Amino acid sequence: MPEVDIGALADFPDGRGTPMQVGNRRLAIFRIGEQVYAIDDHCPHRGFPLHDGPISETTVRCRTHGSCFDLATGEVLRGPAKRGPQSYRIWTDTGRVLIDVL
């Protein structure tokens, strides 16, 4: 699947995650100011959603077991998760949010 237009930047609330199905992937889209991030919407530790986790700067914390992940890379910043969710290339163009889920 090539780049996909997933909506207007204004459709994504600032400082929060939004769950979204893109193709066969369940993603969590995070907007922080004008920057957007996309990761898989499940914690690799036990599969709980990440879109509703607390955000601090550019990290999200799994509400269930506390694992923290970098929104840009999916890197684990604090366990118990041993690996992070996949991150995706996402950007804005003339007010639209585009994502590459290849």
Which pLDDT tens digit goes with each residue over 52-84? 999 999 999 999 999 999 999 999 999 999 999
Global model pTM greater than 0.85 = yes
What the block records as the tokens of 73 is 């890379």
Question: What is the domain-level CATH number for residue 25?
Answer: 2.102.10.10
Q: What angle do CA 12, 87, 54 make, to 5 degrees?
A: 55
> In total, how many domains does the chain have?
1
Counted residue by residue, the chain has a size of: 102
pLDDT in tens, 13-30: 999 999 999 989 999 999
Distance of alpha carbon 39 from alpha carbon 94, whole angstroms: 22
Domain span holding position 83: 4-100
pLDDT in tens, 25-48: 999 999 999 999 999 999 999 889
pLDDT score for 33: 94
What the block records as the tokens of 38 is 């996309």
